[in-house]
Amino acid sequence: MPRARAHASSRRFRLAIRIILVDDHAVLREGAAELLRTQRDMDVVGTFPTGLSAVEFAAREPVDVAIVDLSMPDLPGIEVVSRLRQSSPGTEVVVLSLHTHPEHVYRALNAGARGYVAKGALGCSLFDAVRTVHARKTYLSDRIDREGVERCFLRHRESEAL
């Protein structure tokens, strides 16, 4: 089983956005980490193959942004998002997923994610997402049906009111 890795951050300046990546696919996890490391204002401080290992790390270490896949082997991605927000309230979450149906996006945002990026999006979308959620704003990549997500929020609010 792949091991979680925390990374030394000595090569980055102090105010860099501290990021963790949570994905069970090593190639994607490490590839995304290398892509993010090309940005001077971003510091990947850990990569994790399981949601639980990421939640435990974020509870101990300062993390600004967690990038989380929805399909994880140990916990559902929505549960990872929720636990990250509970154990590390200062950590913003971006979901990076193949699932782009509005209901998936709604559930992620409702669990506490502030951003959602389709895995097929360009790398610059991931950069934009990290910077946007770090500024406490919501980010949805271009492949996300924003109107569909809004309809999900409305539908769920209406059903709660009944």
Dihedral, 54, 17, 138, 124 alpha carbons, nearest 10: -100
- What local confidence, expressed as pLDDT, does residue 6 receive? 55
3-state secondary structure of 92: strand
Residue type for 100, please?
T
- What local confidence, expressed as pLDDT, does residue 10 receive? 42
Digitized pLDDT (tens) for each residue of the chain, 162 residues in all: 445 555 544 444 558 999 999 999 999 999 999 999 999 999 999 999 999 999 999 999 999 999 999 988 889 999 999 999 999 999 999 999 999 899 999 999 999 999 999 988 888 899 999 999 999 999 999 888 878 888 887 887 777 766
- What local confidence, expressed as pLDDT, does residue 4 receive? 59
For the domain made up of 5-161, give the CATH fold.
Rossmann fold (3.40.50)
Rounded Cα distance between 2 and 100, Å, is 27
Largest CA distance in the chain: 54
CA 128 from centre of chain: 13
- What local confidence, expressed as pLDDT, does residue 162 receive? 62
